[in-house]
Structure formats: C-alpha cells, structure tokens
Amino acid sequence: MIKTLVTIMGISAFSSSSVPILKKYSEINLQNYNQNEIVDLGTIQLNKINLNIFQYFKKDNTINQENLFKIILSEEQKINQNNREKLILILKDFIKNQKDWSFIEFPTTYPMEGTSNDYPISVLYSGTGNFSGILSFDITLSNVDKTSKTDINDAFKNKNLKNLDDSGFKNKNEYIWQKIIELNPDSNVNLSDVEIIEINYNYSIIRANTNSSFKGIVKFTYNTIFNYKTSISATAEASSYSAIKRDENSEQTSIEFNLGKDIAQKNYSKITYKLTGNNWDNENDKNEFNYESDCGITDKDKTNYNLKSIDLSLEKDSVVLANRVYKKTNEMETWVILDWEWKNNTIEIKITAKAFAFAHWYNAYYAKASVNAILDNIEIV
C-alpha cells in the first residue's frame, strides 16, 4: 500500500522534531559568507542522496512535508561541501520564514516498505530576503526497516487459502484472518500485529504494523466460490388456426459480489455459458442449437447464437441469441433472448423464450412454433 504525505503549507510554528534542527543551525556563524549577497537558487548543484524515511513515519504512517524538507537539507549539506554554507542559510530561513517557500515538486507518495524510489524536488522562494529563483534537485527515498524484526512472510507456512466462499466477504477482514489462522495454526502473529491492506477475489495482502515485532508484507492467494444457479431455461409454444397466438416464458439467476461491483469488474471480465436447445415450426425441421458453432444468420430460417459470454463491464444489455422466422401463407417466429443488468453489487441474468404463430383464415392448415432454450455451465471468468 502506498502511504500518502500530508502537506501543511504556510505554517510557521515548529514541530518538536524541527526544534533541534533550528537550534543546531542557528548557532552556526557563517564567517566566510557575505550575507548581503542574493543567492540564485537555480545555480546550486546538489549531489543526489539516498534518505531512509522509515524512522520518520508517524503513527498514522504520514510525514509532514516541511519537516521532511528540513531533514533533506540537513543531510544534503553534509555531502555537498561546495554549497554547505548556502544550504545552511536556506535551512535557517526556511525554519524561520516557511511562508516564503512553496513546494512546486515534492513527494506526494512514499515507496512501499523495503523499496526505494527517485523523486524530483523543486522549491520556489517568494520572499524579500537573500534568495531568488527555484531550488531543484533529485533525491532517492528509501523505506527500509533496519530494526531486528521477523519478516512476516516467514511467519506463515501456508499462503494458499484454497477455496473461499463469497458470502464470507460480507465481513471481509474477519473472514480473511479466520481463514489465514485456520491454515496457519502455529503462527505467532496476532491480528493487532498486522493491517489488511488489500482484499480481492483471488488474493489478499497483509502488512506488518510498525509497532509490532514483524516487518514487511505477505500475499495470500485463493479461489472464490460463488453460490448461484449455473443453469437456467425457458420454453414457449404457440399454435394458431385463425388468430394470432403468442407465448413467452423466462427464468433468471442472480450473482451477488460481496466485495462489490468494482472489485468484481477488476478481477473478472466476463461470464461464459453454453446455449443448448432447439426451435421448431410446422413448416421446417427442428433446429438444434450448437454452442460450439458460430453460424451467424445466413437467411431468415437460421439461428444467431454468436454471443458466447456476458461482458461484466457493461451496465446492462439485451441480446437475441436465436431467432427463427417463417413468413408465407402462415407466419411463425421464435426468439431466445438473453438479458443482464447490474443492480448495485448483484448481476441479474435472464433467459427468455418467445413464440408467435398466425394462420390465415383462408388456409385450412394450422400454424405452430416452439422453442426450448437452456443456458448451462454459467461460469465467472
């Protein structure tokens, strides 16, 4: 998890951590420096340093930007002998007149524990004192716990939690921790030692608290099982001698994602299925649906079932999977329609079968049509 910096610009009061720095550098008498000279900040060339910020984190995992800048200047002057007096002068003025200095570029995030990142820093002086321009340089910030602690990754033998039930994610933190302890009964890690920083449908990440005897992060993997009907079906039949006849039936299944719709769409892209069944009318042979074929619509009497999956990124959609039409003296038509829609954190999937028949009065032969559709092997992938 990336930790966020807290910016408090324009505060002239000193925190407890800035007092020693102020005292230390206020006592330095810059004998060899003309303090009436205007320092052009843009001409100061600084060596790149690597600063370990782990020890400066507060209990809420933040660092005040002003205090961090003072620490950076303090460290810079130690290795930049050619600019040491200028850096001390900048530091003294920054401590006394923070309102005259503005951060243009400054770290807004920290590296994860055990890693390091490079950052550009640019600070503008807008006061009326002995400075002008912008001080710019690069720095490497590392976040390394150098105390003697156990790597939390070594505290758990079993990091594959196998199969979890989505219904357990209604109380996600408690559920994940319960499963971790069930498979790691010999671990001496307590819940108070860690923070669960990320939970998905296939993994969770846990980070050791800084005040615990552990350090680092550990990743647990698993497979999530969802409870829903994996097969739905619908049938319809219409028969006519001299009037219009219609029939329509449907069945629905719903899948709830207890980690929420956003996490579901992040972890899964679609829902697949297999369409089987048939449609028939009394002027044509029975047509069997074949989910392994992309037949398309070649003429009015053929079936369209090209769609093989439901796109989870779509809020809702309605698709005709099969449509057979006969229109001559009599008229017959059948449909298979697939609908899906997100409702909060649940996706609803419905299959509908529709049949239509009409026999003209001057034709003694009846009109009949039927359709039977099964949506099977419904699976989240």
The mean per-residue pLDDT over the stretch 225-231 comes to 96
Q: Are 228 and 348 in contact (CB under 8 A)?
A: no
374 confidence band (pLDDT: 50, 70, 90): very high
What is the band of 60 on the pLDDT scale with cuts at 50, 70, 90? low
- Within 10 angstroms of residue 336's Cβ, the number of other Cβ atoms is 28
Ramachandran angles phi, psi of 359, nearest 5° = -110, 125
Task: Please give the residue that has the higher pLDDT: either 211 or 7.
Answer: 211
- Of 21-35, 170-184, 271-285, the range with the lowest mean pLDDT is 21-35
Per-residue confidence (pLDDT) for residue 47, from 0 to 100: 86
Beta strand ranges found along 77-169 (DSSP E): 101-105, 116-125, 131-132, 134-142, 150-151, 160-165
* Average pLDDT of the residues in 4-29: 39
For 191, half-sphere exposure in the C-beta direction (CA atoms, 13 angstrom radius) is 9
Q: Which range has the top average pLDDT, 16-30, 47-61, 223-237, 314-328?
A: 223-237
Q: CB of 286 within 8 A of CB of 302? A: no
State which H helix or E strand residue 39 sits in.
Answer: strand 39-40
pLDDT of residue 255: 97
pTM, full prediction: 0.64
Cross-strand partners of 276: 374
Measured between alpha carbons, how far is 162 from 224 in angstroms, rounded to an integer? 9
Q: Is 366's pLDDT higher than 90? A: no
Instruction: Give the confidence band of 333 by pLDDT, cuts at 50, 70, 90.
Output: very high
- pLDDT value at position 18? 41
Distance of alpha carbon 99 from the chain centroid:
38
Residue at token pair 């007096």: 85
Give tens-digit pLDDT for 154-171: 999 999 999 999 999 999
Please report which helix (H) or strand (E) contains residue 92, including its range: helix 84-96
Between these two residues, 354 and 30, which has the higher pLDDT value? 354
For a pLDDT cut of 90, what percent of the chain falls above it?
A: 64
The per-residue pLDDT for 269 is 96
Task: Give the start-to-end residue ranges of the domains of the chain.
Answer: 19-142, 150-225, 232-380
What band does 34 get if pLDDT is binned at 50, 70 and 90? low
pLDDT digits (tens, 9 = 90+) for 61-89: 678 889 999 999 999 988 888 899 999 99
Tell me which of 2-16, 174-188, 235-249, 325-339 is least confident. Answer: 2-16
What whole-number percentage of the chain has pLDDT above 70?
85
For CA atoms 33, 34, 35, 41, the dihedral sign is negative
Query: What was the pLDDT predicted at 17?
Result: 40
Alpha carbons 84 and 93: distance in angstroms, whole number:
14
- For residue 84, the Cα-to-chain-centroid distance in whole angstroms is 45
Higher pLDDT, 201 or 302: 201
Q: How would residue 16 be classed by pLDDT, with cut points 50, 70 and 90?
A: very low
Are 264 and 361 in contact by the 8 Å Cβ rule? The answer is no
pLDDT of residue 162: 96
Predicted confidence at residue 300, as pLDDT, reads: 45
End-to-end distance of the chain based on CA atoms, in angstroms?
Answer: 26
* Cβ partners under 8 Å of residue 308, min gap 6: 272, 273, 291
For residues 359-370, average pLDDT:
82
State the chain's mean pLDDT as an integer: 85
**pLDDT tens-digit series, residues 93-147:** 999 999 999 999 999 888 887 889 999 999 999 999 999 999 999 999 998 877 7
Section 287-293 average pLDDT: 69
Summarize pLDDT for 318-330 with one digit per residue, the tens: 998 888 899 888 8
